[in-house]
Structure 1
Amino acid sequence: MINNKIWHEKLHCHLGQYFLIDKMLYQEKNKHHDIKIFNNSVMGKMMTIDDIVQTTEKDEFIYHEMLSHIPIFSHGDIKDVLIIGGGDGGILRELCRHKNINNITMVEIDINIINLCKKYFPKHSNNAYEDPRLKLIIDDGLHFVKKTTNKFDLIISDSTDPIGPGKNLFISEFYLYCKKILKKNGIFVAQNGISFFQKDEIVSTYKNLKKYFYDTSFYQAAIPSYYGGTMMFAWGSDNIKLRLTHIEQLKSRIKKTKLIFNYYNPQTHISSFALPQYIINMLNES
């Protein structure tokens, strides 16, 4: 809700965060989402969907670099990528920096999100939508993975939280079809909420991914605008060696790309898979 230029997040019932609205730039509710875009003096432009923070100018690089480069450098030879969601363009931007990637398919349910982010968050995509390797499809993510005959080295699920249209991207059936369209040694990753306050979501994802992937785990990053601690990213693959890639191998792969990052580095890569004990206990008991 908006009250006296203060926006309150609604993700959690009994606690949360607020942001001062310096200027409301856009506000509309369509058949998919309730979208707000506004300026905040600390975080810059912010976009909320269904009254949950989705992205900000200030800290988006943490989320997008970690969700993209962890699987890319773990694998070492990514050619074909599928993005589910990701309409703000940040994941696409990071993927397009990798010249060895041949094809990027992006499936977004709401074309309005893409158009809004091109207008209000141009640095998120940084003209990546013009990359000739991109095939953009407007469709429901679950529907797409069920019908496609294409195969991918990497699937990135950059979805909203499991409410509204995002629910379909957290169910067992979605993970099943993602597994079916992965190539040998393929990797599936997805945003999976804040570990401390969304424990049920993490346990549910873990149980469902374990049905289809030999190696199921999580990695994490602290992202200031996502309230409650560390953001969890789900990981699924049939090759456990990919998650355990040695740091020297990571350094070598990164050096070959000549890319420079704002958050990601080999040490962060390795340490992100070191989960706190309460999460390990929770997963072991599930």
Structure 2
Amino acid sequence: MELWYTEKQTENFGITMKITETLHSEKTEIQQLDIVHTKQLGRMLLLDGMVMTTDQDEFVYHEMITHVALNTHPNPKKVLVVGGGDGGAIREIVKHSSVEKAVLAEIDGGVIEACKKYFPQIASELSGNPRVDVKVIDGIKHIHESKGEYDVIMVDSTEPIGPAVGLFEKGFYQGIYDALSPDGIMVAQTESPWFNRDLIKRVFKDLKSIFPVTRLYTASIPTYPSGLWSFTIASKQHDPLEVDASKIKDLDTKYYTPELHRSVFNLPKFVAELTRD
């Protein structure tokens, strides 16, 4: 008997994969957590039935949510990840030698522990690295308690439903602004330009009203709805379009490159229109 998993990504569209087994299933205090093995993409993490990451394509998301901002800031020393309990963003952050402290603020400890066991290549820096501080806390609360503390803040959230709703609100972004240093930068995953246009427009408008520099960029992630994914970066001073690619160091990446840094901001017309008033 063949087993297939289908994520209904909209009311009329979904993605389906053949699976060989369920490796882990639990109801944490926050959400339903499942890990399955797929024939095509290896192990896959599901939260409340939504695909979060897979063995085969995780590097795209984790590299693109981290390195664009970290290479835009001239000297990032303290970095915060809100969400991101799988550890992939932390793994990429500590590739930057300037970073003295990488803090993970994940509300669900169950995600951290499950990923340590089933995704060791993603969660590789969550244990034993003195530069990493793993906190099982409410990221929104932590933001509001951290005035001027961080050089870069990354919002590595699930989709804007359930426990992640507050991570897409203007008040949260104002809190991030206040938690950043005077030349700080934030970046957030902002969903699919095909299926979440209203959300992208709203988030971009909210961030633009708070930060002097706001940019939208995209990456190709096969398991995320539509495959075309967006990120929004907002900065108090530094513009990612002004980065000298020749000064970007090789970071042992699979997707992100110095040449790619600027090109990801060259948006298709229908996506660029989402950034206009």
Normalising by structure 2, what TM-score?
Answer: 0.95
1:273–1:148 CA distance, 2 compared to 1 (3 A): same
**SS of aligned partner of 1:193:** coil
Question: Is 1:278–2:270 an aligned residue pair?
Answer: yes
List runs of 5+ in structure 1 lacking aligned partners: none
Q: C-alpha displacement at 1:45, in angstroms? A: 0.2
Q: Say which of 133, 140, 143 aligns to 1:142.
A: 140
Query: What code does the residue aligned with 1:244 have?
Result: L
Paired residues of 2:83 and 2:104 also in contact (CA < 8 A): yes
Identity of aligned residues (%): 34
**SS of aligned partner of 2:251:** coil
Question: Is 1:250–2:242 an aligned residue pair?
Answer: no
List runs of 5+ in structure 2 lacking aligned partners: none
Report the more deviating stretch, 5-14 or 108-117: 5-14
Paired residues of 1:96 and 1:128 also in contact (CA < 8 A): no
**SS of aligned partner of 1:282:** helix
Let me know the Cα RMSD of the aligned residues. Answer: 1.6
CA distance in 2, matches of 1:235, 1:132: 28
Number of corresponding residues: 277
Paired residues of 1:195 and 1:229 also in contact (CA < 8 A): no
CA distance in 1, matches of 2:94, 2:63: 12
CA distance in 2, matches of 1:52, 1:69: 25
Deviations 1:135-192 (CA, angstroms, capped at 9, x unpaired): 2221111111112245111001101011111011100111000000111221100111
Paired residues of 2:193 and 2:228 also in contact (CA < 8 A): yes
CA distance in 2, matches of 1:77, 1:185: 10
Paired residues of 2:60 and 2:219 also in contact (CA < 8 A): yes
**1:43-62 to 2 correspondences below 5 Å:** 43-62=41-60
**1:16-27 to 2 correspondences below 5 Å:** 16-27=14-25
Normalising by structure 1, what TM-score?
Answer: 0.92
Report the more deviating stretch, 72-81 or 140-149: 140-149
Higher fraction of helix: 1
Deviations 1:203-259 (CA, angstroms, capped at 9, x unpaired): 1211211221111121110011113131100111122x522224xx232231xxx53
Match in the other structure for 1:69: 67
CA distance in 2, matches of 1:181, 1:282: 27
Query: What code does the residue aligned with 1:135 have?
Result: D
CA distance in 2, matches of 1:244, 1:282: 18
Q: C-alpha displacement at 1:283, in angstroms? A: 2.6
**1:232-271 to 2 correspondences below 5 Å:** 232-239=230-237, 241-246=238-243, 249-254=244-249, 258-271=250-263
